[in-house]
Structure 1
């Protein structure tokens, strides 16, 4: 395995007694990329993150963080990691700054270095004016920012987050993702996170969908959506039967579906004009629809029912 990878798991196995939670998972990431783990409760996301964070030992396979094996060199691996847990782990009675100082001491940072890094993190996350404010007085979104700032204090190359926006309101969720994308784009930090939000999975460069401890889909958003091969042109009109007859005469293979007459094709935007020219029906409306991440997720779960699709062209 290449030591240039930010993290690598090869044939990872995690067991709890007789129960196998992770079955031979292999995933990796180059530095400076964002990877999402998507899956239901019990899919193995937390077990996988537990091993990668060095909190648990693998029962099989190899796991490395920037080349450091988590079993053979756990301390070296841990120093390249920043962790943000799903549960809040800040000391609520301490100030923002004191929480950061506690973390700096935990990692053995020298006083001058810690002072400079704390000032940088407070500035980077817009927390400088709240440095002496107790955590208990902060909103959930600001507290999450403090946790991310703390995770980055000791200069890790990889930050791991378990459900990073769980319990936050929409505006706070958006702010957290603005921060995480900035970490990748401006600082080159590698991000790995577990989520159950379909829309949050789309922020990732790579999405790994887990089911019952196995990888069932993996790729970029575009790759996963295009793999379904269910992009389509949808026609609604006053007479579906007449529309089907005219489309067949023009060489198309239309299907009557619940939301209208559909023409499935790889590039519907390029062919929509052909469909319109082929039709002479009353009340015509034509739209283009592509698979959503929800469709990808349902397909991965063995429930390939594309019922929540994104409409990109409408009302002709």
Structure 2
């Protein structure tokens, strides 16, 4: 069976900065695909290309058999998108937001009415269809955005940081809805996220860094091939963190007051009895997880953001198109 998404040697750049450097991947129909990478790795650029918001400067991308450049309109009919930043009109009701989306996609009035009821039921918002969106909680808005993305019955759902800013319980509820939708409607789901634990159950995980794919496979295969056991130490201040990093060459920074190091290169007793003992507030071991795979491959924690990295991500989003 042909893949529902096919990317062949895709390249893109902004000025002299390479965003994608010959990226190739395939996504099977009905699968759950996770795209992970540090800020500025090229995730947003790739998603924008697949959503027809940006043209690649080389290579080829097919979505549901449609070239995203030569058949962009047909490709758009096959996709639904949930952007990281809300694009709902909060002055309208839930039903009105969905109705407008259906109009944009050329759906007849009767079809729109049927689909509105169907997608609201799927995301458990039927009782709020006539409520103004500005009264909704963050979780309700996210569910409405998912409902809107499903209005025109897409084959592929693109989710760009779908649960960012939501509490843990709401994030879990969102993923329960998405898992049910994928099972019931055989929708292919491509997700980018900073919450690695949310994609532990994905069929395929792709890790991208500096515009290149550095690893891909099932979560289990990635953990077996690249997973390592890490020692994490939290310290009382940034100066101590910097001193530990200078003293132990295999240690890496993790946030402003933590370090991590592969087990074997640094052990707990080194810190408990060494010159930094009185500055270490907690020591713990991290077992092989997707997060440890990511750390091993990139040398960075996925959620370890500096202000400069946040600015770079915002700049990439502005250049790549509306998110």
Interval of TM-score (by shorter of Structure 1 and Structure 2): 0.7 to 0.9
CA drift at 1:134:
0.7
1:294 equivalent in alignment to 2:291: yes
Paired residues of 1:38 and 1:201 also in contact (CA < 8 A)? no
1:107 equivalent in alignment to 2:97: no
CA drift at 1:203:
3.1
Paired residues of 2:13 and 2:57 also in contact (CA < 8 A)? yes
| 2:169 corresponds to | 171
Counterpart among 236, 245, 258 of residue 267 in structure 2: 258
| 1:73 corresponds to | 71
| 1:88 corresponds to | 86
Partners of 1:289 and 1:105 lie apart in 2 by 50
| 3-state secondary structure, aligned to 1:104 | helix
Partners of 1:211 and 1:257 lie apart in 2 by 26
Detail structure 1 runs of 4+ shifted over 3 Å in the superposition.
229-232
Paired residues of 2:36 and 2:206 also in contact (CA < 8 A)? yes
| 1:272 corresponds to | none
| 2:233 corresponds to | none
| 3-state secondary structure, aligned to 1:227 | helix
Counterpart among 10, 15, 18 of residue 17 in structure 1: 15
Quick one: higher RCO (CA 8 Å, sep 6+), 1 or 2? 2
- Unaligned runs of 5+ residues in structure 2 are 231-263, 270-284, 302-323
| Structure 1 residues 169 and 58, CA gap change in structure 2 (3 angstroms) | same
Deviation string 1:4-60 (CA, Å, 9 cap, x unpaired) is 321111101011122210111111111100111111110100000000000000001
Partners of 1:215 and 1:74 lie apart in 2 by 25
| 3-state secondary structure, aligned to 2:113 | helix
Paired residues of 1:205 and 1:220 also in contact (CA < 8 A)? yes
Q: Which moved more, 1:206-215 or 1:95-104?
A: 206-215
Give the length in aligned residue pairs. 254
Partners of 1:258 and 1:15 lie apart in 2 by 42
Counterpart among 220, 226, 229 of residue 228 in structure 1: 226
Paired residues of 1:135 and 1:143 also in contact (CA < 8 A)? yes
| 1:193 corresponds to | 191
Partners of 2:171 and 2:37 lie apart in 1 by 19
Paired residues of 1:11 and 1:26 also in contact (CA < 8 A)? yes
Larger radius of gyration, structure 1 or 2?
1
Q: Which moved more, 1:288-297 or 1:4-13?
A: 288-297
- Unaligned runs of 5+ residues in structure 1 are 233-254, 261-287, 305-316
| 1:42 corresponds to | 40
Partners of 1:129 and 1:303 lie apart in 2 by 44
CA drift at 1:123:
1.0
Deviation string 1:173-225 (CA, Å, 9 cap, x unpaired) is 11111111112211100000111212123132111111111111111110000
TM-score by length of 2: 0.75
TM-score by length of 1: 0.76
